[in-house]
Structure 1
Amino acid sequence: MTDYKTLIDAETWAFIEKTNSYYPPDTIDYTVPQQRAIYDRMCREFFAGYRQGVTAETTVIAMPTNSIPIRIYRNAAPDKAAMVLYAHGGGFILGGLDSHDDVCAELCARTGYEVVSVDYRLAPEHLHPAAFDDVMDAFEWAARTYDCPVLLCGDSAGGNLCAAVAHATRGHKKKPIGQVLIYPSLGGDHSRGSYVTHAEAPMLTARDVEFYKHIRTGGMNQTGDITLSPLADADFAYLPPTVLITAECDPLSSDGEAYRDRVVAAGGRAWWFEEPGLVHGYLRARHMVGRARASFTRIVEAVSVLGKSEWIW
Structure 2
Amino acid sequence: MPLSPEAQQIVDASARRMGKPMYEIPVPELRAVLAAGAIPATTPIHHSEDLLVPSAAGGVPIRIYRPSDDEGLPVVQWMHSGGFAVGGLDQNEEYLRSLSNAAGVIVVSVDYRLAPEHRYPAALDDCRAVWEWMMTVPDALASADVRRAVLAGESAGGTLTFALAQQFRDRGLLMPAAQISMYGTATMQVTNPEFETVLLSPADCHRFWDLYVPDSAERDSPYVNPAAATDLSGLPPAFVVTAEIDPTRDGTEKYARNLQASGVEVELRRYDGMMHGFATMTTALPPARQLFEHLVAYLNRIPASDSAADRR
- Structure 1 residue aligned with 2:185: 185
SS of the equivalent of 2:89 reads coil
Q: Does 1:40 align with 2:32?
A: no
What is the match of residue 3 of structure 1?
none
Q: Which amino acid aligns with 1:154?
A: G
Query: Structure 1 runs of 4+ off > 4 angstroms?
Result: 307-310
1:101-122 Cα distance to aligned partner (Å, 9 max, x none): 1121111011111000000000
Q: Is the 8 A contact 1:178 1:242 kept in 2?
A: yes
Alignment of 1:1-313 (within 5 A): 7-43=2-38, 46-50=39-43, 52-76=44-68, 78=70, 80-145=72-137, 146=141, 147-149=145-147, 150-170=149-169, 172=172, 174-190=174-190, 192=191, 195-198=192-195, 200-306=196-302, 308=304
CA spacing shift, 1:279–1:24, aligned 2, 3 Å: farther
Change (3 A) 1:260 1:67: same
- Tell me the alpha carbon deviations over residues 265-296 of structure 1, each in whole angstroms, 9 at most, x when there is no partner: 11111121110100111134211121221122
Contact 2:52-2:59 at 8 Å conserved across structures: yes
Going from structure 1 to structure 2, the CA distance change for 1:18 and 1:57 (only over 3 Å counts) comes to: same
The one-letter amino acid of 1:196's match is: P
Query: 1 CA distance for matches of 2:42 and 2:279?
Result: 14
Q: Deviations over 1:157-207 (max 9, x none)?
A: 0011111111111264531100110011122543x4xx2332x33421111
User: Which stretch shows the higher mean deviation, 251-260 or 223-232?
Assistant: 251-260
For residues 220 and 173 of structure 1, the distance between their equivalents in structure 2, rounded to whole angstroms, comes to 28
* CA distance in structure 2 between the aligned counterparts of 1:244 and 1:309, rounded to whole angstroms: 23
- Number of corresponding residues: 298
Alpha-carbon spacing, 1:56–1:248, altered in 2? closer, same or farther (3 Å): same
State the secondary structure of the residue aligned to 1:71: strand
| Greater CA drift, 273-282 or 19-28 | 19-28
Distance in 1, Cα, partners of 2:125 & 2:220: 17
Residues 1:20 and 1:56: Cα distance change in structure 2 (over 3 Å): farther
Do 2:85 and 2:116's aligned partners in 1 also have CA atoms closer than 8 Å?
Answer: yes
What is the alpha-carbon distance in structure 2 between the residues aligned to residue 132 and residue 99 of structure 1? Answer: 19
In structure 1, runs of 5+ residues without a counterpart are 1-5
What's the RMSD between the two structures over aligned residues?
A: 2.0
Q: Indicate the larger mover: 85-94 or 292-301.
A: 292-301
Q: Which runs of 5+ in 2 are unaligned?
A: 307-312
For residues 215 and 200 of structure 2, the distance between their equivalents in structure 1, rounded to whole angstroms, comes to 20
Q: Structure 2 CA distance, aligned partners of 1:47 and 1:18?
A: 17
Q: Which amino acid aligns with 2:105?
A: Y
Q: Give me the whole-angstrom Cα distance separating, in 2, the residues matched to 1:13 and 1:256.
A: 23
How far residue 299 of structure 1 moved from its aligned partner, in angstroms, is: 2.1
**TM-score normalised per structure 2:** 0.89
